[in-house]
Amino acid sequence: MPGTTIAKAVNNGLRAAMDKDARVLLMGEDIGKLGGVFRVTEGLQKDFGEERVIDTPLAEAGIVGTAIGMALRGYRPVVEIQFDGFVYPAFDHIISQVAKMRARSLGKITLPMVIRIPVGGGIGAVEHHSESNEAYFTHTAGLRVVCCANPGDAYWMIQQAIETDDPVIFYEPKRRYWDKGEIPETAELGLGDARVCRPGTDVTLLAYGPMVKTCLQAAEAADAEGKSLEVIDLRSLSPVDVPTIVESVRRTGRAVVVHEAPTFGGLGGELAATIMQECFYSLEAPVLRVGGYNIPYPPAKLEDEFLPDLDRVLDAVDRSLAH
């Protein structure tokens, strides 16, 4: 499949999962005839019918709550939340029910469901359409949280997410939906694995989702200045692939974490702490974080200033190297 977009790759991945397992069904707002506002489910209702691709009432708590019931009955629901900022009505169900069901039932109940969320900014949208809320979910034990950054991973990770018996928050980087790439014949990694997507020797950049591309561009630019940056795409935000990170940072001695979410209480802090514990004697500089500012996501005209970009990543790299 040469040159597939991320949106189409998720679509193909959903299709493959639905072909393979009749218990997989999709639920969400506008996912049927319209194919979702990002067209990720385009054509699936036509091919799999309204019983398996459900245009739900406009109610996120209802969607996730009934998906729980479907999963209890043996189905494998894949839920679409239309935009990151609209997952909160379902928050109670995700935190108190989805995440805890397995432990509460002493392992008797599994909830094999996937909650797909287009995530992040950079599309010039109005309020609530550009949020990076992964830390709320990575902070919650019982959920797996993953984020794809390219079409190949989008295709394979969505299938792995559907296959795993744990509930998964599946983030899709919305501003990269139309980026194209190759889809490998087989899954190269497990759902929980990070990928070193560009090897380097001077500084390790840790990123996921939309920021992977930004970091790869930064590494390219740094290369021209004789700096060698290693870029790791975390892919899984919970659990985190600690060995891959540690191996890298022990070699480079420097790490910069990049995400769109505000840094305070964000995943970057967790990664920095882990790196400090595991790589203390190899570190040449403090682990730095580049993220959104600790303010509500601004109006679209200011999002370029809010979001980390190539310059801000390189600025952090320079600060790291200055140590």
Partner 1 sequence: MSDTDVAATEAEREPRSELDRLTAPVPAVQDGGPEMVQLLTPEGQRVPNADYDAVLESLTDDDLRGFYRDLVLIRRVDAEATALQRQGELGIWASLLGQEAAQVGSGRALKPQDYAFPTYREHGVAWCRGVDPLNLLGLFRGVNHGGWDPNEKNFHLYTIVIGAQTLHATGYAMGVQRDGAVGTGDDLRDTAVIAYFGDGATSQGDVSESLVFAGVTNAPVVFFCQNNQWAISEPNERQTRVPLYQRASGFGFPGIRVDGNDVLAVYAVTRAALDHARSGQGPTFVEAFTYRMGAHTTSDDPSKYRVSAEVEVWKHRDPILRFKAWLAHEGKADHEFFEAVEREADVLAAHIREGCLSMPDPAGTEMFDHVYVEPHPLVAKERAEFTAYQASFEGAH
Ligand X SMILES: Cc1ncc(C[n+]2csc(CCOP(=O)(O)OP(=O)(O)O)c2C)c(N)n1
Q: Which residues are catalytic?
A: 129
Residues in 118-157 that interact with ligand X by CB under 6 A: none
* Distance (Å, whole) CA 110 – CA 94: 14
- List the structure tokens of 317: 């790299």
- List the structure tokens of 283: 């570190």
* Distance (Å, whole) CA 2 – CA 269: 37
Binding ligand X by CB under 6 A: which of 62, 65, 89, 192? 89
Q: Pick the closer one to ligand X by CB: 29 or 134.
A: 29
Smallest gap, in angstroms, from Cβ of residue 21 to ligand X? 28
Find out whether 256 and 204 touch, Cβ atoms under 8 Å.
yes
Q: Pick the closer one to ligand X by CB: 57 or 74.
A: 57
Residue count, binding to ligand X (CB under 6 A): 6
Shortest-Cβ-distance residue relative to ligand X: 86
Residue 89 carries which DSSP code? G
* Residue 107-136 contact track with partner 1, rule CB under 8 A, x = bound: -----------------xxxxx--------
Q: Can residue 310 be called a binding residue for partner 1 (CB under 8 A)?
A: no
Count, residues in the chain: 323
* Distance (Å, whole) CA 32 – CA 46: 8
CB proximity list for 8: less than 8 A, separation 6 or greater: 151
- List the structure tokens of 6: 């991320």
Q: Pick the closer one to partner 1 by CB: 210 or 292.
A: 292
Handedness of CA 73, 81, 272, 295 (dihedral sign): negative
Element (H, E) at 93: none
Smallest gap, in angstroms, from Cβ of residue 61 to partner 1? 5
Q: Can residue 58 be called a binding residue for ligand X (CB under 6 A)?
A: yes
Q: Pick the closer one to partner 1 by CB: 172 or 309.
A: 309
Binding ligand X by CB under 6 A: which of 29, 80, 153, 309? 29
Q: Can residue 86 be called a binding residue for ligand X (CB under 6 A)?
A: yes
Binding partner 1 by CB under 8 A: which of 264, 273, 318, 323? 264
User: What is the DSSP secondary-structure string of 199-238?
Assistant: --SSEEEEE-THHHHHHHHHHHHHHHTT--EEEEE--EEE
Considering only 19-27, 81-89, 193-201, 225-233, which stretch makes contact with ligand X by CB under 6 A? 81-89
Residues in 267-306 that interact with partner 1 by CB under 8 A: 293-296, 298-303, 305-306
Find out whether 255 and 215 touch, Cβ atoms under 8 Å.
no
* Residue 29-68 contact track with partner 1, rule CB under 8 A, x = bound: xx-xxxx-x-----------------xxxxx-xx------
Amino acid at 15: R
The distance of Cα 127 from the centroid of its chain, to the nearest Å, equals 20
Residue 280 carries which DSSP code? G
The residue ranges that bind partner 1 (CB under 8 A) are 29-30, 32-35, 37, 55-59, 61-62, 85-86, 88-89, 124-128, 264, 293-296, 298-303, 305-306, 311-312, 315
* Contacting positions for ligand X (CB under 6 A): 29, 58, 60, 82, 86, 89
